Structure 1
Amino acid sequence: MIDSHVLVLNRSFLPINITTAKRAFSLLYQGIAKAVNSQYETFDYESWSDLSIEQHDETIGLVDRAIKIPRVILLVTYDRIPKTQVRFTRANIYARDRNTCQYCGVVFTKNELSLDHIIPRAYGGASCWENIVCCCFSCNKKKGSKGLHETGMKLLKPPAKPRWPPFFKVPLQDIRRQEWRMFLNMVDISYWNTELLE
């Protein structure tokens, strides 16, 4: 519960990040952020902790009471918009490929996947978005350091640089949070789609 996701807004109410509930409470308590409800009202720590809790609300328990976990916080003084480049990382490759082996099409956990160079490094293949895919251990062993034409294996789809806002790397169930929709709809997605640097 304390590690669940909270949308972070700059003071212009634009989404800039996603953090954990634990970090959100820390920012709220320090006065760096305010909690935001569905009517765009903002609350400091004391006023947020005084709000009544409904049955479906997620809460954290304190010694003397329970406090509703805010789903959206607003940074009081931060008004910039961060650079929005999706970093070339293992986690982002898994997110792009949706934890799916790009050869056999089976969905795996992250621990059951590896990364594969489509054009092997031995043949001059680069470590870049267009040449690396998620691959299960079985398919990776089968392919080895051979090219696709040598193994007869085929890709589900050609890999490409992801084009998503950086806060879209969180689980889809969090993006569906009702509390986030009004803020995510304010964003012109094309603004966030930037070219990646390798």
Structure 2
Amino acid sequence: MNGRVLVLNASYEPINVCTERRAIVMIFKGVARVEEYNGHVIRSARMEIRAPSVIRLTDYIHIPYKNRTLSRKNILLRDHSTCQYCGQQFPPSELTLDHVIPRSRGGESTWDNLVACCRRCNHRKGNRTPEEAGMKLIRPPRGFSPHVSRQIMRYLGRADETWRKYLFYESDVQG
């Protein structure tokens, strides 16, 4: 009953993460509907319920626009503490931030130009673009959707596979 459930607004925007218990209460109250199940079954003395993995609110909730602060911590959260060149996951202390277009060439410190990068790949890339260095980004850098909270970001790396199609970054993955 303590598994995590992704909560979507009525418009399918991810807005929160809650426990299975809270999700089931919301479903019984008619506040939310199940979009995806996680495969578990919750049993009580009188019934069995398939555990939800993703729920969607029945009514739209307005969430004020909130800009995400550009910071090292938020870049590492967005990139799941994974080097965006070699794909290896590292502790945050072992990662650097890389300007995809180097600052010396007019690259700015923006969401669209900064990626998490291990020291080895950052040294290899140096003052070049990824193409010039013969390197390829795993996923192009993008800013967060204004509604994606820190709580959702925290669970992204270990999220249930059923969450992926509802989260902002999935469409960016190159196959």
Q: TM-score, normalised by structure 2?
A: 0.50
- SS of the aligned residue for 1:15 comes to coil
Alpha-carbon distance, 1:27 to partner: 6.0
Which residues of structure 1 form unaligned runs of 5+?
39-55, 190-198
Relative to structure 1, is the Cα distance of residues 101 and 36 closer, same or farther in structure 2, using a 3 angstrom cutoff?
A: closer
Max Rg structure:
1
Q: 1:161 aligns with which of 142, 149, 157?
A: 142
Cα distance in 2 for partners of 1:74, 1:130 equals: 30
Q: Which residue of 2 aligns with 1:140?
A: 122
Residue aligning to 1:174:
162
Q: CA deviation at 1:108?
A: 1.0
Contact 1:5 1:174 in 2 (8 A): no
CA distance in 2, matches of 1:154, 1:3: 42
In the TM superposition, residue 128 of structure 1 has moved relative to its aligned partner by: 0.9
Structure 2 counterparts to residues 101-116 of structure 1, below 5 A: 101-102=84-85, 106-111=86-91, 113-116=95-98
1:25 aligns with 2:21: yes
CA pair 83-60 structure 1, distance change in 2 beyond 3 A: farther
* Aligned counterpart, 1:129: 111
Equivalent pairs, count? 150
Higher strand share: 2
Question: What aligned pairs does 1:1-198 form with structure 2 within 5 A after superposition?
Answer: 2-10=2-10, 14-17=11-14, 19-22=16-19, 25-26=21-22, 29=25, 34-37=31-34, 57-59=39-41, 68-75=50-57, 78-80=60-62, 83=65, 88=70, 89-91=74-76, 93-94=78-79, 99-102=82-85, 106-111=86-91, 113-118=95-100, 125-142=107-124, 147-148=127-128, 153-157=133-137, 159-161=140-142, 170=156, 171=159, 173-175=161-163
TM-score (norm 1): 0.46
The amino acid across from 2:84 in the alignment is C
- Quick one: percent identity of the two aligned structures? 23
